[in-house]
Structure 1
Amino acid sequence: MRSFLSIGAAASCLLSNVVATRIPARVGARAADSVVKPKVMIVSMFDPEADVWYGIPEFDVLAMNITIPGGSPLFPDVHCTANGDVCQYTIGESEINAATSIASLVRSPRFDLTTTYFMIAGIAGVNPEVASICSVTFAKYAVQVALQYEFSQFEIPTNFTSGYIPLGAHSPQQYPTSIYGTEVFEFNQDLQHWAAEQARTASLNDSSDAVAYRANYGVNAAYAAGAAPPAVYECDVATSDVYYSGTILGEAFGNFTTLITNGSGVYCTTAQEDNATGEALLRAAIDKLLDFSRVIVMRTASDFDRPYPGEAATTNLFWAEQGAFGPAIENIYLAGIKVVNGILDGWDGQFARGMNASNYVGDIFGSLKGSIEPDFGPYTYNNNPVKRSTKSMRRKTMKPVRVL
C-alpha cells in the first residue's frame, strides 16, 4: 500500500460513498458450513482498495461473508458472491499482516483454493523512469528490497551509493551470500501478459492535479515515462515495510531489483505486502492447497517514489498534491474487472485447467520443484559459489545458522 497524509480527505470521501454497502453477513444460497471453491480471489490491503469492489454492477461480493480465524481483526471476513465464483479478502497493510492473513485463508477448511486465481489488487508508489502516476502495472517479479544490511545516512561509507548492502556482501554491487528465501518471487509471465492485455481494454481514470504534477517530471529525459499519461505496464514490484521517498533510495532499490533477479527485473512500483503474500501462497502451493502459477500481482500508481528535479523529497512525500490517489483506487476496479471477467468468461475454455507458464515460477530456492529451474539466485549469478542453503552472517559473535 502507498498513500499520502494529504489524501486522507479523498479516502474519507471514497469510504463515505460505499459505507451504505457494508451490510451484515448474508449466507445467501450456501449453507453456513459449505466449502467455497472460488474461481477468483481478489486480495486487497486496506479499505479503499476493497471498497471499489462493493456495489458494482458485475457481481455482489457481499452476498456471502465468511469469517476467517486468524484473519486481520480489522478485516475478519472473506466476501463472496452467492455462487462462490468471486471472493474478495482484505489482508491488512504491511508484511506481517499480509503473511498472517493469507496463511490463515489458505488453510481455512471453508475454502477449496486448488483452482483459484489470486489477483493482488492494490495501489503503490511508482518509479518515474518506468511509468506514471494513475497507471496500472502487472508484475513478473516481487522483490523484498529492504531485506539488506543498512547504515544510517550519517554513516554511509564514502564509496557506497546508499546505506543498503545485500546480506552477507560487502558492497551494494555484490550478490547476497546470506539467502532467506523470500528475496524474490517470480510469477507466471504468460498470465501476466494476458492480464495486462485485458487491462489495456479499460479506460483509465486520471485527474487534472495528476496531469499537472506529472508534467514536472518531463524536464528530465530519464523521467519521460513519468511525464506520460497513465497506461498499463508490465514491470516489477518492490516490497518494503519502510515507506521511503527520494531519488537515492529509489535508485538503490532499483539496483537491488536488477541485482537479485540477475539483470532481468525492472523496478517499477513499491508496496508493503507482496513478498509476504507471495511466501504464504507459495508455502500453501508446496502443500498442494493452491496453484502458484495462478497468481496475478496488479498495482496501480498512487504516487511517485521520488521527487521531480528541483523538488525536495519531503515535499514529494508529505505535501505535494499529486492528484493520483483517487484515480489509482478507481483504476484498480476499472482494470481489474477486465481481468476478473476474462477469467470467468473463459473458465470452461482455458482457465479451469490453468495457463501453463513458459517461465520459471516460484521462489529463489526453487521450492516448487517444477521442470524449469530458477533463472535468478546465487547459483546462477556470475558463477557465485554460494548455494541455496547458506550460513547466516548476521553477527560475527553468533554461531552460523543454517538457512533451510
Structure 2
Amino acid sequence: MTFQPRSMLIALASLFSLSLAQPGMATTATPVTAADVAATIAACAPGAACAKPLPVRMVIVTLFEIGADSGDKPGEFQLWKERRKLDVRIPFPQSHHDLYYNPDTQVLGIVTGMGNIKSATATMALGLDQRFDLSKAYWLVAGIAGIDPEDASIGSAAWAHYLIDGDLSHEIDPREIPADWKTGYFPLHSKGPNDPSPPVGQGEVFEANVALRDWAYDLTKDMTLPDDPSIQKERARFTSHPKAQLPPFVLKGDQLAAMTFWHGKLLTDWANGWVDYWTQGKGEFVTSAMEETGTFQAITYLDKIGRVDKDRVMVLRAGSNFTMPPPDDNAAHYLLSENEGYAGMTAALESLYAVGSKVVDEILNHWDRYEQAPPR
C-alpha cells in the first residue's frame, strides 16, 4: 500500500488489518496501528519536529534496487520488501528513495543509493528524521559485494567487523612511481607504500560491534546457503583457490569500501594489504563494495547525539562476483563480462535474505531480551 497525499491518509488507514501474525512478527512489541502511522505521516513533515515518532526495532539498509521495488528482477531491496511485508510507503524526499515500514514488526527499509556519498547522506537524513524513534533500533546492512577467492565463493555471506575506506589516499600514476614501489596508491600521512610507520587515520577505518558480529555469525554459521548450477560452473574455474570452489557458506570477513569498481589480482593484493595496514594486521579483507564507511560514519555522528546506537549495527555482505579473474581469463575481459551480469547475483541476494532474516527474527521474536542491550 502506497500512502497518498495527507487528505487521504486517515481514510486509507481503515484498509489496513494488523491482526494477523507475520513472519518475524515481534509479538511483544508495543502495538502500532495503521491509524498511528497515518497520523504520524500526516502530522509530521519530513525533517520537522514530530510529537509521536514511529518506533523502529530494525532498519534494513540496502544500497540499490533494479527497476521497480517489487514484481520484477530484484536488486538488494526487493526480497526484503516483499517477504517482510514492508508495505507502508513513507515519503523521504530528503534522500534517494522513499522508505517502507511494517507496523506489525516495526521494521523499516531504506535504499540509500550506491556509493559512500549517498549512503552517508541517506543514513544521516534518516537518523535526523524525527518521524522515527531509532534509539533502540538494530541496523542490518545487507548488500552484494565482490569477494576474494582466497577466502570464499560467490554466494557466500560474510559478517564484518572492520570497515575500511579505500578512497582517502595519495596517488601517483604507476608510470611515474619510484622503482622500488609496487603501487602509486598509498595512505595519507605516509611517505609511500613502503612506509612502515603506524597509520594516522582520518576516518579510514571503523569497527562494528565485534561481540554483536560474533553473535550473528554463531547464529548463522551452520546454515546451508542457496546454490545453483551457474555458480557451481563459475567457481569451478578457480582451480588454484580451494575456498572459491566451495558451495556458498557463512563466514567472518572485513569490508573494503571504495567508490571505484576495481578488479584484478594485483588490486586484490592491494586490497588485502590496505586492510592489513589500516587494521594493523587484525583484519582480513573478504568483501569489496562502495558504501560501508559512509554509512558507519553517519551512524557514528548520530550516536554522539543519542539518535542511534552504533553498537547495534551489523554489516553483512554476500559475494555476487569475485574480485579477480580465474586462471583461464584476464582482468579486463572478466570485469567487462561481469558488467553484463554477475554470476552470483541471485545466490547472493538469497543468501543475504536467508542469513540476515535469521538474525532479524531472533531479535524481533525476543525483543524483551534484546531491547535494552545488544546480544553478546
In the alignment, structure 1 residue 45 sits paired with structure 2 residue 63: yes
- The separation in 2 between residues aligned to 1:311 and 1:245, in whole angstroms, is 13
**Aligned match of 1:334:** 354
Match of 1:54, SS? Answer: helix
In the alignment, structure 1 residue 325 sits paired with structure 2 residue 345: yes
Q: Which moved more, 1:274-283 or 1:33-42?
A: 33-42
**Aligned match of 2:86:** 61
- The separation in 2 between residues aligned to 1:145 and 1:65, in whole angstroms, is 34
Match of 1:203, SS? Answer: coil
Cα deviation, residue 175, structure 1: 5.9
Indicate the RMSD between aligned Cα atoms, in angstroms.
Answer: 2.0
Match of 2:99, SS? Answer: strand
Match of 2:86, SS? Answer: coil
Match of 1:43, SS? Answer: strand
Cα deviation, residue 227, structure 1: 1.7
Match of 2:215, SS? Answer: helix
**Aligned match of 1:389:** none
- Tell whether the 8 Å contact from 1:91 to 1:97 is kept in structure 2 after alignment: yes
For residues 214-293 of structure 1, the aligned pairs below 5 Å read: 214-218=235-239, 220=240, 223-293=241-311
Cα deviation, residue 164, structure 1: 1.2
In the alignment, structure 1 residue 146 sits paired with structure 2 residue 167: yes
For residues 1-400 of structure 1, the aligned pairs below 5 Å read: 23-24=2-3, 28-30=34-36, 31=39, 32=41, 33=43, 34-47=52-65, 48-56=75-83, 59-62=84-87, 64-72=88-96, 75=97, 77-83=98-104, 85-174=106-195, 179=200, 181-200=202-221, 202-218=223-239, 220=240, 223-319=241-337, 323-349=343-369, 351-355=370-374
Match of 1:52, SS? Answer: helix
- The separation in 1 between residues aligned to 2:358 and 2:190, in whole angstroms, is 43
- The separation in 1 between residues aligned to 2:93 and 2:63, in whole angstroms, is 18
What is the letter of the counterpart of residue 49 of structure 1? E
- The separation in 2 between residues aligned to 1:196 and 1:121, in whole angstroms, is 14
Q: Which moved more, 1:316-325 or 1:118-127?
A: 316-325
Q: Gaps (5+ residues) in structure 1? A: 1-21, 358-404
Q: 1:82 to 1:119 in 2, by over 3 A?
A: same
- The separation in 2 between residues aligned to 1:273 and 1:88, in whole angstroms, is 16
Aligned length: 326
Cα deviation, residue 81, structure 1: 0.5
**Aligned match of 2:21:** none
Match of 1:216, SS? Answer: coil
**Aligned match of 1:360:** none
Q: 1:135 to 1:107 in 2, by over 3 A?
A: same
What is the letter of the counterpart of residue 187 of structure 1? A
Cα deviations by residue, 1:76-120 (Å, 9 ceiling, x for unpaired): x22111246111111100111111111100000101111100100
Q: 1:288 to 1:176 in 2, by over 3 A?
A: farther
- The separation in 2 between residues aligned to 1:176 and 1:65, in whole angstroms, is 50
- The separation in 2 between residues aligned to 1:144 and 1:281, in whole angstroms, is 15
Match of 1:53, SS? Answer: helix
- The separation in 1 between residues aligned to 2:172 and 2:331, in whole angstroms, is 19
What is the letter of the counterpart of residue 70 of structure 1? Q
Cα deviation, residue 201, structure 1: 5.1
Identity of aligned residues (%): 28
Cα deviation, residue 336, structure 1: 1.2
- The separation in 2 between residues aligned to 1:110 and 1:322, in whole angstroms, is 37
What is the letter of the counterpart of residue 238 of structure 2? Y
Cα deviation, residue 206, structure 1: 2.0
- The separation in 1 between residues aligned to 2:122 and 2:92, in whole angstroms, is 9
Cα deviation, residue 169, structure 1: 1.3
- The separation in 1 between residues aligned to 2:300 and 2:167, in whole angstroms, is 20
Q: Which moved more, 1:290-299 or 1:27-36?
A: 27-36
What is the letter of the counterpart of residue 79 of structure 2? V
Cα deviation, residue 234, structure 1: 0.5
Cα deviations by residue, 1:26-49 (Å, 9 ceiling, x for unpaired): 763422244112111000001110
- The separation in 2 between residues aligned to 1:91 and 1:318, in whole angstroms, is 25
- Tell whether the 8 Å contact from 2:287 to 2:319 is kept in structure 1 after alignment: yes
**Aligned match of 1:363:** none
Cα deviation, residue 24, structure 1: 4.9
- Tell whether the 8 Å contact from 1:94 to 1:272 is kept in structure 2 after alignment: yes
Q: 1:238 to 1:272 in 2, by over 3 A?
A: same
- The separation in 1 between residues aligned to 2:236 and 2:183, in whole angstroms, is 28
Q: Normalising by the residue count of structure 2, what TM-score does the alignment of the two structures yield?
A: 0.82
- Tell whether the 8 Å contact from 2:221 to 2:251 is kept in structure 1 after alignment: no
Cα deviation, residue 148, structure 1: 1.3
- The separation in 1 between residues aligned to 2:261 and 2:104, in whole angstroms, is 39
Q: Normalising by the residue count of structure 1, what TM-score does the alignment of the two structures yield?
A: 0.76
Cα deviation, residue 146, structure 1: 2.5
